[in-house]
Amino acid sequence: MESALTLNTGARMPVVGLGTWKLWCTYHERSLVRGACEKTLSDLKLDHLDLYLMHFPMGLKPGEELFPFDAEGQVIPDNSSFLETWEEMEKLVDAGLVKAIGISNFNREQIEAVLNKPGLKYKPVNNQIECHPYLTQEKLINFCHSKGITVTAYSPLGSPERPWANADELSHLKDPQIRAIADKYKKTTAQVLIRFHIERNVAVIPKSTNPGRIKENFQVFDFKLRKEDMNTILSFNRNWRVFPMDWASKHKDFPLNAEY
């Protein structure tokens, strides 16, 4: 399950926490959606989920493999469309299995396709996307908020422990410019990065297995970043992704070719 750090700044914020889960891509076909949700509920010993997200807009070949690859190292698609999958997720709300449904890694065009779908019963309440100072996602966040869709930032610290990181990549947590801002507020770089998202009315799901750092990650409500510091952090954007999803670049619903 996921947890989030949020601050109510006037707009509706998501409760990304108890009972939040995602529908994996190999379960996008109509006949598989409900069973996947029921399996999750059984595994978690819950009678419902507060929020259920479509992990990607890309359906993959059903089966035991999480990532079914072809000979070229590209994922093998299924025959579904994310609009059909969304219709099945709407049925989960009607059945009382989930309270709300949302999306993850959707671009603007894909979100609009859902919002404009004939017969839409429930619009997405949340879009979970990669977001950090090197990928600020300003246009996508503003678009989601304009449609009443809340946003959750994953990898808000830049996922410094990811196995595929290059040794010469500059870590967000060690970035001297971010560290200088943190020193000004007598905070850690992680706390500044988390606060950066809160100031933007974005839910945050930092990941850590260190109890001390987990505690520190919650100590972000006793300060605010000045406008000039927010602008400085926003200026670090370079549209660089921790998760470029190269393995799905040929999928018909690959979301990252769009501007946002």
Q: CATH number, domain at 189?
A: 3.20.20.100
Distances (CA, A) of 33 to 49, 50, 62, 68, 252: 14, 17, 11, 18, 20
Number of domains in the chain: 1
Provide CB contacts within 8 A for 175, sequence distance 6+: 133, 189, 236
Span 75-100, average pLDDT: 98
Show the DSSP H helices in 125-203 as ranges: 138-146, 176-185, 189-199
Lowest-confidence segment of 16-25, 139-148, 167-176, 246-255 by average pLDDT? 16-25
Domain annotation covers residue 11: no
On whether residue 44 sits in a domain, the answer given is: yes
In a domain, 254, yes or no: no
pLDDT at 3 over 60: no
Q: How confident is the model at residue 28 (pLDDT cuts 50, 70, 90)?
A: very high
b/e map 141-169, b = 16+ CB within 10 Å:
bebbbeeebbbbbbbbbbbeeeeeeeeee
Write down how long the chain is: 260
pLDDT score for 16: 44
How many Å apart are CA 107 and CA 144, to the nearest integer? 10
**What integer pLDDT is reported at residue 11 of this predicted model?**
41
- Lowest mean pLDDT, pick from 1-5, 62-66, 106-110, 230-234: 1-5
Residue 42: band (very low, low, confident or very high) from pLDDT cuts 50, 70, 90:
very high
> Can you say how many angstroms the Cα of residue 184 is from the centroid of all Cα atoms in its chain?
29
Q: Quick one: pLDDT at residue 44?
A: 93
128 alpha carbon, distance to own chain's centre: 2
pLDDT in tens, 73-83: 999 999 999 99
Report the mean per-residue pLDDT for the chain.
Answer: 91
Give the least confident one: 16-30, 46-60, 118-132, 172-186. 16-30
Average pLDDT rounded to a whole number, residues 58-64:
97
Q: Per the domain annotation, does 257 fall within a domain?
A: no
**Is 163 domain-assigned?**
no
Q: What percent of the chain has pLDDT over 90?
A: 83
Least confident of 141-150, 167-176, 226-235: 167-176
pTM equals 0.91
Q: In what order do the strands lie in the sheet with 49-54?
A: 20-23, 49-54, 98-104, 126-130, 150-154, 203-205
Residue 160, pLDDT score? 74
pLDDT digits (tens, 9 = 90+) for 174-183: 899 999 999 9
Does 220 map to a domain? Answer: yes
154 within a domain of the structure (yes/no): yes
Q: Side-chain half-sphere of 86: how many Cα atoms within 13 Å?
A: 26
Q: What pLDDT is stored for residue 162 in this prediction?
A: 74
Domain limits at 96? 20-158+168-248
For position 18, what pLDDT does the model report?
55
H or E segment and range at residue 21: strand 20-23
β-partners of residue 21 are: 52
* Residue at 1 is within a domain: no
Dist CA 153 CA 101 (whole Å) = 17
Q: What is the dihedral of CA 83, 84, 86, 89, to 10 degrees?
A: 180
